Amino acid sequence: MRCKIGTSLLDKLDKLMLAAGMERINFQNAFVAIKIHFGEPGNLAFLRPNFAKTVADRVKKLGGMPFLTDANTLYVGRRNNALLHMDAAYENGFTPFSTGCHVVIADGLKGADEVEVPIEGGVHLKTAKIGRAIMDADVFISLNHFKGHELTGFGGAIKNIGMGSGSRAGKMIMHNNGKPRVAHDKCVGCRTCARYCNQDAITFNEEKKASINHELCVGCGRCIATCNFDAIDTPWSGSSDDVNIRMVEYAKAVLDGRPNFHISVVNHVSPNCDCHGENDAAIIPDIGIFASFDPVALDKACIDAVNAAPVIPGSVLGDRFGKQSEGKDEPACGCASHAGRAGHAAHAGHPGRHDHFRVVHPGTNWRSQIEHAEALGLGSGNYELVTIK
């Protein structure tokens, strides 16, 4: 992340993309989806729009037609329909004037504009519901902010591609096997959801509150997309491994059959997802920018770099380590040498041999992302790290 006088970080990003071979892709007259997270308003850890402009400018120089894209969210917030999502993107600086390209919300107005895509070799899923605009693109570029995540362990290229490209119904399938629920305190009994349910799974009680029969429900997500009162959502009950595996299979569906390239910016490494309307302090110092044709190698290189970095005192990670060294918490780092309190006191002596994100979120297992991605043929966790100065 360091820059000599006269050379900006954006210059270095452009140099990195070329050094990593991005120009080998035929961009001529191609629609190019630059998949990014626009950041939930209130969060300040998301990538600056300047990074997106640099990527878009390079794509245009190579003859492509870029657009910035993301799919709508499941949860209630500022990005769960296309109008709010675009407002949030513009508020956070992602406008055509600042980035040089347009914003297209991949799954449409209500999150229901999707394409059902086969997953070659899928173990848990056979098809994926992907935002139509992403599947319509000729070339796919992932540009992501590398950070922690409370369910998947970390959010990198795989999560940006798989979870980020899924329609609202697709996100529901990844999170909870596609079984939505109704919050009765928000339901107004308008019956719109029932009109869009092809399985007759939605009924109403005497108070005109909807309920969903999970034996009939197939998890299409149409009820979520059509409810204007945010009364239907999905319980976040999937295990870390289960979500990671489904997310990997969605990423495979997105990437198969077309050129793709991936960039991860490892700065302001916050402990949680940029979907939060706030962000905690960074847990490690800024590291740099990584690029690869292989999203699995990219994620593994980034996680290794994060785990080799020193902990920032006063961050949630620093606080956890402080408690562990005092013997107040059980070991959560996964180091073979850390069998007890004495081992934890040695953290400062070897900052590269523990699992930072596992300490922050002990219930997660990011390794299942890498392992399943390798098994599915999405890429390899083995990599050669080439430093571009």
Contacts 24+ apart (CB under 8 A), 120-126: 120/252, 120/256, 121/252, 121/376, 121/377, 122/249, 122/252, 122/253, 122/376, 123/245, 123/249, 123/372, 123/375, 123/376, 124/242, 124/245, 124/246, 124/249, 125/173, 125/246, 125/249, 125/250
| pLDDT the model gives residue 292 | 98
Give 351's DSSP letter: T
| pLDDT the model gives residue 324 | 65
| pLDDT the model gives residue 325 | 62
| pLDDT the model gives residue 340 | 32
Within 13 A of 116's CA, how many CA atoms are on the CB side?
7
Assess whether pLDDT exceeds 60 at residue 42: yes
Assess whether pLDDT exceeds 90 at residue 70: yes
| pTM, two decimal places | 0.87
Q: Within 10 A of 389 (CB to CB), how many other CB atoms are there?
A: 7
Of 13-17, 69-73, 124-128, 334-338, minimum mean pLDDT range:
334-338
Summarize pLDDT for 320-345 with one digit per residue, the tens.
888 766 665 544 444 433 333 223 33
Assess whether pLDDT exceeds 50 at residue 248: yes
Of 49-63, 174-188, 297-311, 366-380, minimum mean pLDDT range:
174-188
Contacts 24+ apart (CB under 8 A), 235-241: 235/176, 235/179, 235/181, 236/151, 236/175, 236/176, 237/176, 238/151, 238/174, 238/175, 238/176, 238/177, 240/151, 240/152, 240/153, 240/363, 240/364, 240/365, 240/368, 241/365, 241/368
Average pLDDT score, the chain: 90
| pLDDT the model gives residue 327 | 62
Interval 379-388 mean pLDDT:
96
Interval 139-163 mean pLDDT:
96
* Strands 210-212 and 202-204, sheet pairing: antiparallel
